[in-house]
């Protein structure tokens, strides 16, 4: 094999020339054998070589890899990638893996902000390219948690000083041969002395003694060789030095001997050279560029190179020459170099001194202009790290106020992520030391909730005159700032909206564990088991092509269960297979699936249960679980024995569907309930009213005796009249039973929830007839407080001691009730900005965990002696209680969500007038409609524009060119389009002019305005309306209507599309002359229209239906040069081909291309310059204006990030964290240097603008 071919396969593999290293044949043969095994294995494999530092692990691995690749032709044609890890942080590992991704060919402009994302990204890339047999070498891994982020490497070999036992990654473990044999040591010394035979080494007892005292460590022997010892006196002197006790090094004995040898080697150097070498302890154990070392030593790079070559010859470091020369120091040598020379000096003081010398050298090299330092990867990556180590806040502030240095770093790293991490570290340091900092943190949105940082950033943005934009949030008008702050404090669980189920263990049996899902339904879907307190992942299961519907975990957190469906995942669609939804159970200690057994010998064939629940307690070392059959009519109880799940002959069979099964808090009973009638739908409508029985049956079973302890009927539906609850006799105003909880403390009772009504039912002397007897009902049934329960939902949790009941609320409120003797005693409202979805009390200290289904887990500690409880009197039903409620929560209720619903935002419109952001909102309060100006300025000011109307208003529009407001309303079945004048002049009297009104046909029951647009060339208003039609043939129908109004002469024109569609119509693209819309009419279709002008009539040009499978549509728009007279070309085709062929077929660069999935979501867009595939989670928030000249915007609803793309290259310029609201639309200013973002109906909005930075992302 030629040298160049070999080096192509051995990417970055450190050289191990025979002139400097010995070959440890036995050790290397073991490694070579295992490498060949994983090369031949279909599934690859992972090797771990572990042993003490300095024992030659890396050298042996590199030698072995060279042999199997070059001589034995293994791992071809892909070769290997060598990656140095070391003792690094998560941020540094992310930096390394992003570099690896770039080297692999993954788009380097993608901004990946987490280790899990980069791991998944590389994994997908390797699978797509079928390169999973590529060998990855991870050298010197310290942190066991980092292993989970390199699982993309299905074929790998790792070196570490630690034996990571029980980590579940399936390593083939090879313990390193830590000592050289005597002959190997002599051979190494001779190699380093260039085989000088003037002094006999073999058979010399002194030499043998020194080798033994060095424990045969290759690093120590190599350093000894550099001392050039040529007499017995010199070797005896080494022994005496090693034996002489010195308190200088406060380390273990083995390392102390090694450090003494390092010290002897340094003493062989000249005083000046020794001083320079000691300074190298300031660097991190990674590649150190020649330029950084020259800056530290304050010498010319050529002189630094000569010195490094001398140190390399003495085995004190490794120097690699080439286009980008660098040095690497062994971490043990770095540890030695960081030992203070002055014993009166502390380790920390000496490290500060070293870092100040380095920063001083950098400053002199660049003459105080940090951007002016010669190109240097180490400098760009670690400058802030070393600045922080100086503990000099003036240096930190000076660097991070240098915009040009930021630009150099951005260009060097090709990502903003590393700059974000640097600034975040600097913020933490300065805040910890209570130092106000003045650098531009808000430019990268690290501290958007700290106003003084943003103010300082804006000042510096104005002071620096630069040429390019970097985006920041300038103004925010948001209802839920508290919700944002609370969400940031929560624990993040899962990554996508589909990761919506979790389960927790019982902390009585160890650390609280959570089983959750990440990327549900995606190729990188996995089930993770993590420690709640630390978020450390203790185990994970990767599951491709499945959708997980539920999870469960045993009380000790060692067994998990999940219910899943399989599917086929195409580029645009999830195609679900018609298979059973199976439960699978895994023992995470041995990573094995467990089998359900009908008997000790017979495996259960049918595992398609609907529910599975673990008993919360371990009974006599037995783990118990119960299952509910798919038809929800049979319960079975199982016991886990070893690695089997045995049926224990306990079951319950019911003729009706069981609504719920629950374990009691002590795990001794099972509660179940069902409706005694068949029903359909979520409203529990009886199938047959003629034989309907208004009853639900509740039963409580004892686990040990397997006897029914309680069987009692309750009404299935109730009526609430004047604080009295009665069984319903008809469908009018009925409330169905939705939730039941069992309490078996001193007073046995049930918590019944009838939608938002319900309460505590005491079971003592219970009889169904009490529901018909008010006196009996008052004695046994204690309703939820009437002034609270109207807002409650059926999300109920009972505390472990059964003294607290939690209930969620419709309006993002959480309530906890204290109960005693079957009655409500007091309550608290928990501060909250989220709607509960999955509430659970952990089984200690009454900690309440709430998972909101939006990837956030919140924790509340419910302790009565700490929180302010409100006392309930007279069962909470009298007027005094309501007064008490109002007084105690007056502050909280002043801004309740209900008050927001008094005013309904119907529509909004935004624009820039004289480059100032302006907005109008159309509102309804009671029966009055009004239009007012939004505050989008830096300084708060009262609204200066206001308009009211008694007629129904449905839409509003404001344009930068029109300088007036257009409103569309309906008045007595007449559509009225009105122009409101003098918006800019703000005259005292509002002028308005009716532009057009027309009567709606009798079969039109309402309208919806889809688009309003002003065409400046001929002063024409364009309106796209969707008319909703009453049609006897179909349940719902609509059609599209195009209107134009010439404002100069009020001439009108209209076009009605006679095609009806069933669902909805959305505009995909619109300009002054053309409209493209997607109509959801069952089969889905995309239509293009000509918007009329002058003598050109409005008309529909094309119509393209989706294919029958509704997998999506590929479309291409070619705009004519002369848009006034020529029609656009609109081409489309169903998606019958895979992704690669689709891009190849449709990617010719002669038009504007976009691809719709089956839901009408744009998945790929492009123009005559480039193409961009859009991730499923990202929505383009400006569909009607897809092809802006400079930028386009996407919003990730999962991660709550704004993605800003450059139009010319389709490259992502920036990811802007935006947790405030979901953006559905934007409006740019003319220069595209600022845009307004808003949510649905425009209630919440913000202004995002560019700050000038010097040539970022050219």
Residue 255 vs residue 1233, higher pLDDT: 1233
How far apart (Å, rounded) are the C-alpha atoms in residues 264 and 53?
A: 20
**Residue closest to 394 by CA, chosen among 360, 366, 351, 347:** 360
The whole-number pLDDT of residue 845 equals 55
The CB-side HSE value for 755 (13 A sphere, CA atoms) comes to: 13
> What is the average per-residue pLDDT within 784-813?
70
635 pLDDT above the threshold of 90: yes
How far apart (Å, rounded) are the C-alpha atoms in residues 761 and 714?
A: 10
Contact of 551 with 498, CB cutoff 8 Å: no
Average pLDDT, the chain: 77
Residue 1037 vs residue 195, higher pLDDT: 1037
The whole-number pLDDT of residue 731 equals 59
> What is the average per-residue pLDDT within 739-766?
85
| Range name among 205-209, 253-257, 260-264, 636-640 with the lowest pLDDT average | 253-257
**Residue closest to 17 by CA, chosen among 302, 266, 315:** 315
Identify the residue whose tokens are 């938002």. 756
Dump pLDDT digits (tens) for 941-971. Answer: 555 667 888 889 999 999 888 878 999 999 8
657 pLDDT above the threshold of 90: yes
Helices (H), 1114-1165: 1139-1146
How far apart (Å, rounded) are the C-alpha atoms in residues 167 and 164?
A: 6
408 pLDDT above the threshold of 70: yes
1168 pLDDT above the threshold of 60: no
Dump pLDDT digits (tens) for 192-225. Answer: 665 555 456 777 787 787 777 776 777 777 777 7
Query: By three-state DSSP, how is residue 348 classified?
Result: helix
Residue 485: count other Cβ atoms within 10 Å of its Cβ: 12
Phi, psi of 102 (to 5 degrees): -65, -45
The whole-number pLDDT of residue 394 equals 81
Residue 1147 vs residue 39, higher pLDDT: 39
**Residue closest to 36 by CA, chosen among 126, 132, 135:** 135
What are the structure tokens assigned to 1041, written together? 């209507």
681 pLDDT above the threshold of 80: no
Give the model's confidence band at 465: pLDDT under 50 very low, under 70 low, under 90 confident, else very high: very low
Cβ burial of 112 (10 Å; 0-12, 13-18, 19+) is: buried
The whole-number pLDDT of residue 245 equals 58
CB environment 819-855: b (16+ within 10 A), e (fewer): beebebbbbbbbebbbbbebbbbbbeebbbbbbbbbb
User: What's this model's pTM, rounded to 2 decimal places?
Assistant: 0.51
The whole-number pLDDT of residue 603 equals 87
> What is the average per-residue pLDDT within 417-422?
71
562 pLDDT above the threshold of 90: yes
The whole-number pLDDT of residue 283 equals 93
What are the structure tokens assigned to 426, written together? 């600097």
Residue 467 vs residue 802, higher pLDDT: 802
> What is the average per-residue pLDDT within 375-379?
84
How far apart (Å, rounded) are the C-alpha atoms in residues 343 and 1254?
A: 48
Residue 167 vs residue 1200, higher pLDDT: 1200
> What is the average per-residue pLDDT within 1135-1161?
62
How far apart (Å, rounded) are the C-alpha atoms in residues 1077 and 715?
A: 51
What are the structure tokens assigned to 45, written together? 């494999």
Give the model's confidence band at 793: pLDDT under 50 very low, under 70 low, under 90 confident, else very high: low
The whole-number pLDDT of residue 305 equals 92
Residues facing residue 553 across a β-bridge: 560
The whole-number pLDDT of residue 104 equals 83
> What is the average per-residue pLDDT within 921-929?
88
Report the run of H or E that residue 393 belongs to, with start and end: helix 393-399
> What is the average per-residue pLDDT within 236-246?
68
Percent of the chain clearing pLDDT 70 (strictly above): 76
- Supply angle C-alpha 1105, 1110, 1116, rounded to 5: 50
Note every long-range contact of 628-636, with CB atoms under 8 Å and residues 24 or more positions apart, other chains counting.
628/658, 628/661, 630/580, 630/581, 631/657, 632/657, 632/658, 633/657, 633/658, 635/661, 635/670, 635/672
Residue 93 vs residue 873, higher pLDDT: 93
Contact of 51 with 178, CB cutoff 8 Å: yes
Give the model's confidence band at 455: pLDDT under 50 very low, under 70 low, under 90 confident, else very high: very low
> What is the average per-residue pLDDT within 519-525?
78
How far apart (Å, rounded) are the C-alpha atoms in residues 390 and 408?
A: 22
How far apart (Å, rounded) are the C-alpha atoms in residues 1064 and 1027?
A: 10
The whole-number pLDDT of residue 452 equals 39
Distance of CA 200 to the CA centre of its chain: 65
How far apart (Å, rounded) are the C-alpha atoms in residues 1054 and 1040?
A: 11
| Range name among 196-200, 552-556, 915-919, 1096-1100 with the lowest pLDDT average | 196-200
Query: By three-state DSSP, how is residue 22 classified?
Result: coil
The whole-number pLDDT of residue 464 equals 41
- Supply angle C-alpha 781, 784, 790, rounded to 5: 135
Percent of the chain clearing pLDDT 90 (strictly above): 16
Query: By three-state DSSP, how is residue 249 classified?
Result: coil
Ordered strands of the 735-736 beta sheet: 724-727, 717-721, 735-736
Give the model's confidence band at 877: pLDDT under 50 very low, under 70 low, under 90 confident, else very high: very low
270 pLDDT above the threshold of 90: no
Residue 1005 vs residue 68, higher pLDDT: 68
- In sequence order, what DSSP letters do the residues of 1169-1232 get, joined into one string? S-EEEPPTTEEES-GGG---SSEEEEEETTTTEEEEEETTT--EEEEEE--S----EEEE-TTS
Dump pLDDT digits (tens) for 490-513. Answer: 677 877 777 888 899 988 888 889
Q: What distances in angstroms separate CA 1116 from CA 228, 1086, 1153, one per listed residue?
A: 75, 11, 4
How far apart (Å, rounded) are the C-alpha atoms in residues 577 and 596?
A: 24
Residues facing residue 807 across a β-bridge: 796, 815
The whole-number pLDDT of residue 628 equals 94
Residue 976 vs residue 1125, higher pLDDT: 976
The residues, any chain, with a CB within 8 Å of residue 41's CB and separated by 6 or more, are none
| Range name among 27-36, 159-168, 710-719, 972-981 with the lowest pLDDT average | 159-168
The whole-number pLDDT of residue 458 equals 44
The whole-number pLDDT of residue 1169 equals 57
* Bond preceding residue 77 cis, omega within 30 of 0: yes
Q: What distances in angstroms separate CA 191 from CA 303, 315, 488, one per listed residue?
A: 27, 12, 59
1022 pLDDT above the threshold of 90: yes
Give the model's confidence band at 836: pLDDT under 50 very low, under 70 low, under 90 confident, else very high: low
The whole-number pLDDT of residue 253 equals 46
445 pLDDT above the threshold of 60: no
Residue 1216 vs residue 383, higher pLDDT: 383
Give the model's confidence band at 1173: pLDDT under 50 very low, under 70 low, under 90 confident, else very high: low
How far apart (Å, rounded) are the C-alpha atoms in residues 1248 and 717?
A: 52
Residue 647 vs residue 474, higher pLDDT: 647
The whole-number pLDDT of residue 466 equals 37
The whole-number pLDDT of residue 725 equals 77
Dump pLDDT digits (tens) for 85-99. Answer: 888 888 788 878 888
The whole-number pLDDT of residue 640 equals 93
Contact of 946 with 970, CB cutoff 8 Å: no
Dump pLDDT digits (tens) for 312-348. Answer: 887 788 888 877 888 888 878 888 888 887 777 788 8
Residue 1050: count other Cβ atoms within 10 Å of its Cβ: 12
The bridge status of strand 838-841 relative to strand 823-830 is: unpaired
Max Cα–Cα distance, the chain, nearest Å: 115
> What is the average per-residue pLDDT within 134-144?
90
Query: By three-state DSSP, how is residue 638 classified?
Result: strand
Contact of 494 with 830, CB cutoff 8 Å: no
Q: Which 8-state DSSP code applies to residue 514?
A: E
> What is the average per-residue pLDDT within 606-633?
90
How far apart (Å, rounded) are the C-alpha atoms in residues 618 and 1184?
A: 59
- In sequence order, what DSSP letters do the residues of 1058-1098 get, joined into one string? ---BSSEEEEEEE-SSEEEEEEESSS-EEEEEEPPBTTBPP
């Amino acid at each position: 094999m030629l040298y160049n071919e070999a080096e192509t396969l051995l990417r970055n593999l450190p050289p191990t020339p025979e002139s400097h290293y010995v070959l440890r044949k036995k050790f290397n043969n073991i490694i070579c054998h295992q490498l060949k095994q994983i090369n031949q294995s279909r599934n690859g494999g992972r090797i771990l070589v572990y042993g003490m530092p300095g024992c030659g692990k890396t050298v042996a691995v590199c030698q072995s890899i060279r042999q199997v690749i070059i001589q034995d032709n293994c791992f071809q044609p892909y070769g290997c990638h060598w990656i140095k890890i070391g003792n690094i942080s998560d941020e540094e590992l992310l930096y390394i893996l992003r570099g690896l991704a770039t080297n692999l060919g993954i788009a380097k402009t993608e901004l990946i902000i987490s280790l899990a994302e980069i791991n998944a990204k590389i994994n997908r890339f390797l699978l797509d390219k079928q390169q999973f047999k590529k060998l990855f070498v991870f050298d010197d891994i310290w942190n066991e948690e980092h292993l989970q982020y390199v699982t993309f490497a299905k074929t790998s070999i790792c070196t570490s000083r630690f034996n990571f036992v029980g980590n579940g990654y399936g390593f083939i473990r090879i313990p390193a041969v830590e000592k050289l044999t005597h002959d190997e040591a002599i051979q190494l010394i001779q190699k380093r002395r260039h085989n000088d035979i003037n002094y006999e080494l073999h058979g010399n007892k002194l030499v043998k003694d020194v080798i033994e005292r060095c424990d045969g460590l290759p690093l120590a022997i190599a350093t000894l060789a550099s001392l050039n010892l040529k007499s017995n006196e010199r070797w005896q002197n080494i022994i005496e030095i090693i034996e002489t006790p010195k308190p200088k090094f406060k380390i273990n004995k083995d390392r102390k001997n090694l450090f003494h040898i390092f010290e002897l080697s340094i003493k062989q150097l000249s005083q000046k050279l020794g001083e320079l070498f000691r300074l190298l302890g300031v660097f991190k154990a990674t590649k150190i560029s020649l330029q950084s070392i020259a800056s530290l030593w304050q010498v010319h790079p050529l002189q630094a190179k000569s010195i490094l070559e001398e140190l390399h010859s003495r085995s004190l470091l490794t120097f690699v020459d080439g286009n980008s020369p660098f040095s690497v120091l062994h971490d043990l040598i770095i540890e030695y170099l960081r030992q203070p020379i002055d014993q009166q000096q502390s380790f920390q003081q000496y490290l500060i001194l070293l870092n100040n010398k380095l920063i001083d050298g950098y400053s002199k090299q660049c003459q105080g202009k940090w951007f002016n330092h010669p190109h240097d990867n180490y400098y760009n990556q670690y400058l802030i790290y070393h600045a922080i180590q100086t503990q000099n806040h003036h240096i930190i502030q000076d660097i991070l106020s240098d915009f040009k240095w930021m630009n150099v770093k951005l260009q060097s790293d090709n990502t903003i992520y590393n700059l974000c991490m640097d600034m975040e570290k600097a913020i933490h340091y300065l805040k910890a030391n209570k130092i106000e900092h003045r650098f531009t943190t808000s430019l990268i949105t690290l501290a958007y909730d700290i106003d003084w940082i943003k103010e300082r950033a804006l000042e510096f943005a104005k002071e620096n005159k630069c040429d390019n934009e970097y985006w920041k949030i300038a103004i925010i008008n948001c209802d839920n700032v508290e919700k944002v702050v609370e969400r940031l404090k929560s624990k993040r669980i899962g990554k996508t909206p589909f990761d919506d189920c979790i389960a927790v263990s019982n902390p009585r049996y160890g650390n609280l564990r959570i089983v959750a899902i990440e990327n549900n339904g995606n190729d990188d879907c996995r089930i993770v088991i993590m420690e709640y307190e630390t978020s450390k992942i203790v185990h994970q299961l990767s599951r491709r092509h499945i959708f997980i519907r539920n999870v469960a975990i045993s009380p000790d957190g060692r067994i998990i269960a999940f219910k899943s469906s399989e599917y086929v995942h195409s580029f645009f669609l999830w195609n679900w297979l018609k298979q059973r939804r199976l439960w699978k159970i895994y023992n995470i200690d041995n990573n094995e699936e467990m089998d359900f057994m009908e008997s000790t010998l017979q495996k259960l064939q049918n595992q398609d249960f609907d529910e599975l629940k673990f008993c919360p307690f371990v009974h006599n070392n037995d783990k118990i679980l119960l299952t509910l059959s798919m038809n929800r009519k049979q319960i079975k109880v199982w016991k886990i024995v070893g690695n089997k799940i045995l049926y224990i002959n306990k079951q319950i069979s019911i003729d009706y569907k069981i609504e719920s099964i629950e374990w009691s808090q002590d795990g001794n009973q099972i509660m179940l309930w069902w409706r005694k009638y068949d029903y359909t739908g979520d409203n529990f409508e009886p199938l047959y009213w003629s034989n309907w029985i208004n009853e639900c049956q509740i039963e409580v079973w004892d686990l040990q005796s397997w006897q029914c302890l309680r069987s009692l009927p309750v009404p299935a539906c109730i009526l609430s009249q004047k604080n009295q609850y009665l069984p319903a006799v008809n469908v009018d105003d009925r409330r169905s039973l939705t939730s039941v909880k069992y309490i078996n403390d001193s007073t046995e009772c049930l918590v019944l929830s009838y939608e938002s009504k319900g309460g505590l039912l005491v079971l003592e002397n219970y009889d169904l007839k009490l529901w018909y007897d008010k006196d009996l009902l008052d004695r046994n049934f204690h309703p939820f407080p009437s002034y609270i329960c109207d807002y409650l939902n059926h999300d109920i949790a009972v505390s472990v001691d059964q003294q607290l009941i939690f209930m969620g609320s419709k309006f993002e409120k959480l309530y906890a009730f204290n109960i005693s003797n079957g009655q409500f005693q007091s309550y608290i409202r928990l501060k909250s900005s989220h709607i509960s979805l999955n509430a659970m009390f952990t089984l200690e200290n009454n900690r309440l965990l709430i998972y909101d289904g939006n990837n956030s887990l919140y924790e509340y500690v419910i302790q009565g002696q700490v929180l302010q409880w409100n006392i309930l009197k007279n069962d909470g039903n009298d007027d005094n209680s309501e007064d008490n409620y109002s007084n105690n929560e007056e502050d909280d209720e002043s801004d309740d969500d209900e008050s927001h619903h008094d005013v309904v935002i119907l529509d909004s419109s935004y624009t820039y007038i004289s480059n100032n952001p302006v907005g109008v909102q159309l509102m309804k309060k009671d029966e009055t409609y009004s239009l007012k100006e939004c505050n989008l300025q830096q300084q708060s000011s009262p609204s200066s524009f206001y308009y009211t109307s008694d007629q129904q208003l449905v839409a509003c529009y404001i344009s930068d060119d029109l300088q007036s407001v257009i409103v569309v309303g309906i008045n007595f079945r007449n559509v009225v389009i009105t122009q409101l004048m003098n918006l800019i002049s703000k005259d005292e009297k509002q002028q308005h002019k009716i532009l057009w009104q027309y009567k709606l046909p009798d079969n039109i029951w309402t309208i919806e305005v889809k688009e309003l647009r002003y065409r400046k060339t001929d002063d024409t208003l364009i309106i796209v309306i969707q008319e909703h039609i009453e049609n006897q043939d179909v349940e719902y129908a609509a059609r599209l209507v195009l209107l134009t109004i010439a404002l100069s002469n009020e001439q009108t024109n209209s076009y009605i599309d006679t095609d009806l569609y069933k669902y909805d119509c959305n505009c995909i693209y619109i300009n002054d002359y053309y409209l493209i819309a997607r109509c959801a009419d069952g089969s889905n279709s995309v239509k293009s229209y000509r918007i009329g002008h002058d003598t050109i009539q409005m008309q529909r040009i094309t119509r393209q239906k989706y294919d029958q499978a509704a997998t999506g549509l590929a479309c291409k728009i070619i705009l004519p040069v002369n848009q006034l007279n020529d029609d656009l070309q609109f081409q489309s085709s169903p998606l019958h081909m895979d992704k690669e062929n689709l891009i190849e077929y449709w990617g010719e660069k002669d038009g504007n291309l976009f691809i719709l999935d089956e839901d009408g979501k744009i998945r790929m867009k492009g123009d005559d310059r480039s193409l961009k595939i859009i991730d499923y989670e990202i929505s383009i928030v400006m569909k009607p204006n897809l092809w802006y000249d400079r930028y386009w915007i996407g919003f990730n609803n999962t991660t709550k990030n704004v993605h800003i793309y450059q139009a010319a290259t389709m490259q992502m310029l920036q990811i802007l964290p935006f947790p405030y609201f979901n953006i559905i639309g934007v409006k740019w200013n003319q220069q595209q240097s600022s845009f307004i973002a808003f949510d649905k109906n425009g209630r919440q909005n913000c202004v995002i603008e560019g700050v000038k930075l010097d040539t970022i992302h050219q």
